[in-house]
């Protein structure tokens, strides 16, 4: 019944008012107030009233229908109120990544021709302003956490939130709302190969993605979402924000990534939306803890994973390992569940029912462990240009080595070089002010080109093989998807980051960022000084690290195993321009930075 009511709505700004009428006292949002050291709870009725207050203040700015408002805010009540008010007034939100560089934010503000920037602190704006980027359309900056910002800079008026909201007092007539064909956002891609492009998503695009996702993964109205991905990330924006509010769920914003483990236990969520890196970090911590335990404890953990995995395979119709020892599974599982499985699930609060993973591939070893121990991670696949979900597993079918089946109303085909191509009501309108890039994004017959290589199994499940532009072709003709290798390497806690290379080279090599604590442990076993840069160049270090890498990737074909390695302790960050705000490697930038080291890795080889 609730899904039926939601399916009648056509634009995103209608979700909260509809819930406020149906269940006004239901908790919509919860965030931690550091001033009072308490959790602040906002009902759907209160949220709707706050949104109306923001709408009135925006109305006083005399923005025209379709004007852009850039939003650079941390996840929380203000971010939701701002986004919803902008949408309801018929304007277009331009979400900025809170962890992005000031230069990138300045470029997006200028490129989108935003009239208003809403951010939390003066320091954020100062950093953007000091890039000296020309932002000719920007007229106002609103600060949500500053009480007395500077009055004006170069014709841009500054407001604190209280003063700005006060300007809306007395406004009785609000602008006409959007239609389903109007833009619901301009979301800028991460820009792994150059300047980011603004993806134009309409209300119809996003609403259709919400509704079709709900046909495969259906949270209950009483469910609690724990939100920790940036709401500027399209995956979180659709699944962890619009979908959650549309279904009348409660969204709780984590205090910080550093406090995520504690927030899991405090909030006890039913649903989380995550990227693989979060699951992989949790798994790495479990592995590090197991390394300090007795051999019996490690055996018990491994046994629990194997027994649980067989049970998982049986439930979802996957091939099962056969053998006499499986006869004991029904007898030993209740014991293993109590000793191992529930201990792990309690790390997530003990109430987690839906754990969705997207944005990149999840390592098979990590997936097997979590699925086997009672947390069946649901993997999906999508891209910003498709609002974003294209395919996904579900609570009723879950093949962890795939990204599931295409969503309802979504057609997927394999084009030239097995490129995944998509037709769906959730596919973008195009790129903002980039007609040539828009044409290049589609085939002649109108299918969105994803740039990903895929394959279908006999049951129609989709598997991602790699990126067309990223597939490494060695000089011997072997094709190697680097992302899969990098994921496997990073499961070992010694490696924080990995970059696999080998295009037109005789073999695969890798550059890795070592975890400093794990490096100290390894250096001690090699009788080396971890603080001496020469230690990273020692032959004994190279051999030890290569051995660890080959163990991590032992399930790959022989031609894909790295034969040489360069090590560094300097992490690749957004600030140094080597990863994107969504934590993807900027391969071109890495290739340029490490050009001399790459040359040395292949010296003497042809």
**CATH code of the domain covering residue 581:** 3.30.300.30
Six token digits for residue 315: 């439930």
pLDDT over 70, % of the chain: 97
**What digits encode the pLDDT tens for the residues 489-500?**
988 889 999 999
Q: Is residue 261 part of a domain?
A: no
pLDDT tens column, 351-382? 999 999 988 778 888 999 999 999 999 999 99
Q: Which of 252-266, 278-292, 321-335, 487-501 has the lowest mean pLDDT?
A: 321-335
pLDDT of residue 1: 44
Q: Is residue 172 part of a domain?
A: yes
**Quick count: other Cβ atoms within 10 Å of Cβ 470?**
18
CA pair distance 406, 76, nearest whole angstrom: 32
**Size (the chain), residues:** 606
For the whole model, what pTM was predicted?
Answer: 0.85
Cβ pair 99, 230 in contact under 8 A: yes
Cα–Cα distance, 440 to 431 (Å, whole number): 10
Write out pLDDT tens, residues 506-549. 999 999 999 999 999 999 999 999 999 999 999 999 999 999 99
Q: Of 178, 194, 218, which marks where a domain is finished?
A: 178
Cα(575)–Cα(105) distance, rounded to whole angstroms? Answer: 12
Give me the pLDDT at residue 323, please. Answer: 54
426-476 pLDDT, tens digit per residue, is 999 999 999 999 999 999 999 999 999 999 999 999 999 888 878 888 887
Q: CA 305 to CA 438: how far, in whole Å?
A: 46
Question: Residue 444 corresponds to which tokens in the numbers above?
Answer: 């002649």
The values of phi and psi at residue 151, to 5°, are -65, -40
Indicate the average pLDDT of the chain: 92
Residue-wise pLDDT tens digits, 382-394:
999 999 999 999 9
Please choose, from the candidates 426, 406, 232, the residue with its C-alpha nearest in 3D space to the C-alpha of residue 241. 232
Distance, first Cα to last Cα, the chain: 66
> Which residue matches tokens 């993807």?
584
Buried/exposed 69-84: b ≥16 CB within 10 Å, e otherwise: bbbbbbbbbbbbbbbb
Both tokens of 464, joined, read 């991602």
Whether the pLDDT of residue 552 is over 50: the answer is yes
Domains held by the chain: number: 2
With 60 as the cut, is the pLDDT of residue 324 above it? no
**For residues 494 and 548, is the Cβ–Cβ distance under 8 A?**
yes
Q: Is residue 347 part of a domain?
A: no
Out of 121-135, 187-201, 304-318, least confident range: 187-201
pLDDT of residue 325: 66
Residue 252 pLDDT > 70: yes
Tell me, what's the pLDDT at 38? 95
Q: What is the mean pLDDT of residues 81-103?
A: 94
Given a cut of 80, whether residue 575 has pLDDT beyond it is yes
Contact assessment for residue 487 and residue 365, using Cβ atoms and an 8 Å cutoff: no
Classify residue 109: in a domain, yes or no: yes
- Structural domain including 139 reads 2-178
Q: How confident is the model at residue 10 (pLDDT cuts 50, 70, 90)?
A: very high
Question: What confidence category does residue 349 fall into, taking pLDDT thresholds of 50, 70 and 90?
Answer: very high
Mean local confidence (pLDDT), 4-9:
88
Q: Is residue 390 part of a domain?
A: no
- CATH number, residue 59: 3.40.50.980
Does residue 270 sit within a domain? no
- 502 or 327, greater pLDDT: 502
Q: Is 193 a residue whose pLDDT tops 70?
A: no
Q: What is the DSSP string of 410-459?
A: -EEEE-GGGEEEEE-TTS-SEETT-HHHHHHTB-TTSPEEEEEEEEE-TT
> Residue 215: inside a domain, yes or no?
no
Instruction: Judge whether 591 lies within some domain.
Output: yes
Q: Provide CB contacts within 8 A for 135, sequence distance 6+.
A: 106, 109, 110, 114, 156
pLDDT at 241: 98
pLDDT grade for 480, boundaries at 50, 70 and 90: confident
Please tell me the distance from the alpha carbon of residue 505 to that of residue 443, in angstroms, as a whole number: 32
Domain end among 178, 197, 212 = 178
Question: Alpha carbon of 164 to those of 94, 158, 410, 449: distances in Å?
Answer: 20, 9, 43, 43
Q: What is the pLDDT of residues 174-183, one digit of tens each?
A: 999 999 999 9
What is residue 194's predicted lDDT score, i.e. its pLDDT?
59
Residue 326: pLDDT band with limits 50, 70, 90: confident
Write down the pLDDT at residue 477.
78
* C-alpha torsion sign, points 447, 451, 456, 461: negative
Secondary structure class of 250 (helix, strand, coil): strand
What values do phi and psi take at 220, rounded to 5?
-85, 150
Domain boundary among the residues 178, 196, 227 is at 178
Predicted local distance difference test score (pLDDT) of residue 321: 64
Distance between CA atoms of residues 272 and 104, nearest Å: 28
CB contact at 8 A, 538 and 482 = no
């Amino acid at each position: 019944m609730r899904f039926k009511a939601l399916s009648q709505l056509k634009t995103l700004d209608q979700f909260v008012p509809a819930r406020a009428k149906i269940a006004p006292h239901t908790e919509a949002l919860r965030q931690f107030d550091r001033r009072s050291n308490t959790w602040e709870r906002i009902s759907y009725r209160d949220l709707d009233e706050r949104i109306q207050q923001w709408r009135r203040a925006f109305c006083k700015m005399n923005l025209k229908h379709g004007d852009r408002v850039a939003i650079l805010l941390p996840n929380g009540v203000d971010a939701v109120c701002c986004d919803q008010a902008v949408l309801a007034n018929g304007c277009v939100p331009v979400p900025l990544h809170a962890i992005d560089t000031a230069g990138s934010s300045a470029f997006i503000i200028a490129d989108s021709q935003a009239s208003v920037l809403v951010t939390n602190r003066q320091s954020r704006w100062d950093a953007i302003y000091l890039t000296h980027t020309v932002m000719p359309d920007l007229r106002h900056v609103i600060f949500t956490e500053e009480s007395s910002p500077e009055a004006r800079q170069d014709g841009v008026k500054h407001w604190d939130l209280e003063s700005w909201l006060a300007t809306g007092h007395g406004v009785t007539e609000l602008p006409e709302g959007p239609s389903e064909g109007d833009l619901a956002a301009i979301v800028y891609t991460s820009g792994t190969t150059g300047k980011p492009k603004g993806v134009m998503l309409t209300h119809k695009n996003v609403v259709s993605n919400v509704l079709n996702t709900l046909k495969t993964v259906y949270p209950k109205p009483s469910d609690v979402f724990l939100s920790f991905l940036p709401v500027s990330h399209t995956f979180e924006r659709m699944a962890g924000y619009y979908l959650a509010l549309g279904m009348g769920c409660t969204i709780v914003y984590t205090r910080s990534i550093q406090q995520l483990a504690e927030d899991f236990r405090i909030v006890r969520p039913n649903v989380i939306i995550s990227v693989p890196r979060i699951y992989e970090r949790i798994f790495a911590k479990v592995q590090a803890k197991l390394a300090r335990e007795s051999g019996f404890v490690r055996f018990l953990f491994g046994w629990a994973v194997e027994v649980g995995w067989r049970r998982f395979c049986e439930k979802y119709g996957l091939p099962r390992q056969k053998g006499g020892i499986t006869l004991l599974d029904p007898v030993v599982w209740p014991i293993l569940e109590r000793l191992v499985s529930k201990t792990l699930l309690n790390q997530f609060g003990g109430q987690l029912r839906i754990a969705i993973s997207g944005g990149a591939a999840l390592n098979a070893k990590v997936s097997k462990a979590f699925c086997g121990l009672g947390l069946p991670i649901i993997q999906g696949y999508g891209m910003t240009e498709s609002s974003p979900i294209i395919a996904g597993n579900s609570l009723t079918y879950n093949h962890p080595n795939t990204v599931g089946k295409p969503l309802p109303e979504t057609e997927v085909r394999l084009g030239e070089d097995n490129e995944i191509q998509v037709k769906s009501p959730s596919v973008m309108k195009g790129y903002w002010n980039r007609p040539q890039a828009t044409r290049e994004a589609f085939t002649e017959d109108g299918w969105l080109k994803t740039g990903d290589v895929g394959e279908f199994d006999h049951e129609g499940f989709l598997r991602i093989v790699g990126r067309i532009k990223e597939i490494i072709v060695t000089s011997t003709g072997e094709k190697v998807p680097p992302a899969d290798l990098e994921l496997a390497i990073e499961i070992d806690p010694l490696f924080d980051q990995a970059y696999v290379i080998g295009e037109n080279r005789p073999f695969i090599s890798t550059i890795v960022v070592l975890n400093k604590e794990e490096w100290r442990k390894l250096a001690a076993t090699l009788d080396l000084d971890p603080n001496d840069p020469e230690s990273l160049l020692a032959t004994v270090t190279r051999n030890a690290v290569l051995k660890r890498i080959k163990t991590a990737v032992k399930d790959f074909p022989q031609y894909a195993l790295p034969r040489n390695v360069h090590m560094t302790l300097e992490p690749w960050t957004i600030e140094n321009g080597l990863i994107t705000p969504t934590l993807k490697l900027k391969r071109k930038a890495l290739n340029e930075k490490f050009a001399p080291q790459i040359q040395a890795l292949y010296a003497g080889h042809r």
